[in-house]
Amino acid sequence: MIDHSTIERIFDAAQITEVVQEFVSLKKRGVNYLGLCPFHNEKTPSFTVSPAKGIFKCFGCGKGGNSVNFIMEHEHLSYPEALKWLAKKYHIEFEEKEASAEEIQKQNERESILVVTQYATREFTENLFNGREGIALGMSYFRERGFRDAVLHKFEVGYCNEKRDDFTQKALGAGYKKEYLVQSGLTIDKENYVFDRFAGRIMFPIHSLSGQVLGFGGRIIKKDPHAAKYVNTPETEIYHKSRIVYGIFQARQAILHADRCYLVEGYTDVLSMHEAGIENVVASSGTALTQEQIRLIKRFTPNITMLYDGDFAGVKASLRGTDMVLEEGMNVRIVLLPDGEDPDSYSKKISNEEFSKYLTDNETDFIKFKTSILLKEAKSDPVTRANLVRDIVHSIAVIPDQISRTIYIKECSSQLNMPEEVILDEVMKLRKQQSFRDRNAFPVQESVVPSWQPVKEEKKKPFTTFYSEREIIRLLVRYGGEIIERVADKESGIETVTTVADYIVAQITDDELDFDEPVFSSMFSEIKFHNQQGLAPNDRQFINHPDPAISSITVDLLTEKYQLSTIWKEKGTWVETEDMKLKIIVTDTVLKFKGDKIKTMQRDLQKAILEAADNQELTEQLLEKYKMMTTLQKEISTRLGDRIVL
């Protein structure tokens, strides 16, 4: 762990423009700098750097943050890794702070397992390339399939000897502890008899983004009806199947470069594609993608192309679960390989050029593909056809981007020969359903929506206090230190000033209200803590916050296009001075926040009343409370008047 004062020194040294300029060419525009965003493809620059605030923000893709966030995002590093990267650049020597005993133990455990997997990778490649058994069994498997050494080395494939405890005994002999061999998943410990999980298998190491081996996939070579064809490392301290995709380490540069990621099923499919010169490819290892895996790919590109073999039943099965990729806002395309072929077999039948060309020529948009394949199946059966429509409508409805949805609705209407309005209607119906929205919530994306703009639209959404909480925090971060009231004591003449932070903190603390959103809740307690010590909140404290959730939301809050003046211009002309505006906005926002909190409390009460139906006394108490809140709610509405739509 890096100690706090070093982190501060790093932040102080790391000038945002300087850091960004290592990777992006910037031009000065007024007080800011402008360049082409390194995180998405663009022709006109929308990537802005503010040296004054020490932040970057892309108005194209929404990415933003401080200099550490930039390095994290650009170099795909973790927070401490990015700090170390910057420390090196600015020649800052740092001491690592002493971690707690528990942290050290966890850290040691992870590191010890990593050391074991690294050792195992070396052993397995040694077996494959130089061991008698490995050459006879493992290497001949790869040779028969035409793999060259270069690709095998690139993926560090290996072989685990057949003798049941060969690897484990060797590792123990080399001084590796049994404890970590077992924790790495390589060794199985059964009543003190230890043996290899992967005996007699070809080994495919699964690399992290930075190239460390987290786990393995092992494919059996000999025909054995009792053994599974593939065995994988179980969940360990370092290997979490749902968070990693096979091949991402070897593919990351190529994915960035091509702005596209191919998704295949198996380890050998990935290797074959590399063999055919296509390197932007990862494998899901046979299961449907998880949200974490999709987001991992999305860090490099929003475009994903899935390769399926031509077997109809297989394709239909794999269509399920693909909606999740759409939900993440990815552009999904499909390539169907000829019947019975997988990427491995097909890429070997034809030349590399032909294979590349096949992929480009046969790419279809996912929704179009799904429609046509289901349409083929449905033919004229009305029941199947109805199901088909429902299925496709669902796929369209999960897409977060409204423009994309509209385009798909148009296309499907012509493909299905059905009026656009009917499909649109179905999509809207689905999106309105509470259960649908719970399942398909996009809290992160929606948080980018400015809170004052969509007031009218918001009424349709399920009720949440998210927006009013966000607005409170926005005011605190942006204007916390501004004075909204000065009162002079008539006799002494001493002036008392109230800042935005003073007012909001007091209002919320006195009513014992809290924030539902964890990130806002922790920001508020920090502000409150500072306020009680007489300090005004400052945006730098949050921009450079070690919690990335806090720093990123702060950048969003600070870079919103909505300024006080523009909001208020539309609302009327009765406010004259900036100070007065601020005061009204702050008091109104606090009122709206309270109103929203009451609304959620009332919702909870409604539930309680229903549940207490048998208990008359309790019911009456609850009803009383409910009515009191309704009165409060009315008061708030009156005070807010027509300035804000509640």
Is residue 275 within 8 A of residue 143, CB to CB? The reply is: no
Closer residue to Zn ion (CB): 67 or 112: 67
Beta bridge partners of 429: none
Residues 591-620 that bind Zn ion (CB under 5 A): none
Q: Closest distance between Zn ion and the C-beta of residue 42, in Å?
A: 6
Long-range contacts of residues 141-145, Cβ cutoff 8 Å, at least 24 apart: 141/202, 141/221, 142/202, 145/268, 145/272, 145/344, 145/348
Q: Which is nearer to Zn ion, 60 or 329 (CB)?
A: 60
| Closer of 19 and 359 to Zn ion (Cβ) | 19
Amino acid at 152: L
Instruction: Pick the closer one to Zn ion by CB: 257 or 627.
Output: 257
Q: How far is Cα 75 from Cα 61, in angstroms, rounded to an integer?
A: 18
Rounded least distance, CB 40 to Zn ion, Å: 4
Of 33-41, 236-244, 337-345, 586-594, the segment contacting Zn ion by CB under 5 A is 33-41
* Nearer CB in complex with Zn ion: 401/511: 401
d(CA 607, CA 622): 10
In the range 403-432, which residues lie near Zn ion by CB under 5 A?
none
DSSP structure string for 478-524? HHTT-EEEEEE-TTT--EEEEEHHHHHHHHHHHTT---SSHHHHHHH
Closer residue to Zn ion (CB): 61 or 535: 61
Rounded distance between C-alpha atoms, residue 229 and residue 223, angstroms = 9
Q: How far is the CB of 59 from Zn ion (least distance, A)?
A: 8
From 40, 243, 298, 348, residue interacting with Zn ion (rule: CB under 5 A) = 40
Shorter beta-carbon distance to Zn ion: residue 57 or 528: 57
Residue with Cβ nearer Zn ion (45 or 595): 45
For Zn ion (CB under 5 A), the number of binding residues is 6
User: Which of 39, 85 has the CB closer to Zn ion?
Assistant: 39
Q: How far is the CB of 414 from Zn ion (least distance, A)?
A: 33
Q: By CB under 5 A, is residue 255 in contact with Zn ion? A: no
For 515, other C-beta atoms within 10 Å of its C-beta total 22
- Site of tokens 């600015």: 90
Residue 43 Cβ vs Zn ion, minimum distance, rounded to whole Å = 12
Does 479 participate in binding Zn ion (rule CB under 5 A)? no
What is the closest distance, in whole angstroms, from the C-beta atom of residue 62 to Zn ion in the complex? 7
For 256, 470, 527, the CA distances from 531, given in Å and listed in that order, are 45, 19, 6
The smaller minimum CB distance to Zn ion, of residues 73 and 327, is found at 73
Q: Bridge-partner residues for 196, per DSSP?
A: 187
Asked if residue 300 lies in contact with residue 290, where contact means CB atoms within 8 angstroms, the answer is: no
Least distance between Zn ion and beta carbon 353 (Å): 33
For residues 72, 78, 84, 90, the Cα torsion angle rounded to the nearest 10 degrees is: 10
On the CB side of 186, CA atoms within 13 Å amount to 37
Nearer to Zn ion, 61 or 609 (CB): 61
Residues 6+ apart with CB under 8 A from 517: 466, 469, 470
Report the candidate in 72, 71, 64, 33 with the shortest Cα–Cα distance to residue 556: 64
- In the complex, minimum distance from the CB of residue 560 to Zn ion, in angstroms, rounded to a whole number: 16
Stretch that binds Zn ion, among 23-31, 56-64, 368-376, 466-474 (CB under 5 A): 56-64
d(CA 206, CA 156): 9
- Name the token pair of 470: 């966000």
From candidates 33, 39, 479, 568, binder to Zn ion by CB under 5 A: 39
Question: Quick one: which segment of 51-59, 168-176, 586-594, 605-613 binds Zn ion (CB under 5 A)?
Answer: 51-59
CB 405 within 8 A of CB 427: yes
First to last CA, the chain: 46
Q: How far is the CB of 71 from Zn ion (least distance, A)?
A: 16
CB of 36 to Zn ion, least distance (A): 9
Are 94 and 6 within 8 A, CB to CB?
yes
Pairing mode, strands 201-207 and 281-283: unpaired
Looking at the Cβ atoms of 57 and 594, the one nearer to Zn ion is 57
Q: Which of residues 57-86 bind Zn ion (CB under 5 A)?
A: 58, 60-61
Residue 37 makes contact with Zn ion by CB under 5 A: yes
Residue 516 has φ and ψ, to the nearest 5°, of -80, -35
User: Is the Cβ–Cβ distance between 232 and 241 less than 8 Å?
Assistant: yes
Question: At its nearest, how many Å lie between Zn ion and the CB of residue 39?
Answer: 5
Nearer to Zn ion, 62 or 450 (CB): 62
Shortest reach from residue 605's CB to Zn ion, in Å: 45
Which C-beta is closer to Zn ion: that of 301 or that of 440? 301
Cβ count near 588 (within 10 Å): 18
**Quick one: which segment of 30-38, 158-166, 176-184, 565-573 binds Zn ion (CB under 5 A)?**
30-38
Burial of 339 from C-beta contacts in 10 A (0-12 / 13-18 / 19+): exposed
Picking from 306, 230, 231, 225, the residue whose alpha carbon sits closest to that of residue 261 is 306
Q: Least Å distance between CB 365 and Zn ion?
A: 23
Bridge partners (DSSP) listed for residue 518: none
What's the closest the beta carbon of residue 245 comes to Zn ion, in angstroms? 23
**Residue that is written with structure tokens 């509209």 in the block:** 406
CB-nearer residue toward Zn ion: 40 or 178: 40
Footprint on this chain of Zn ion (rule: CB under 5 A): 37, 39-40, 58, 60-61
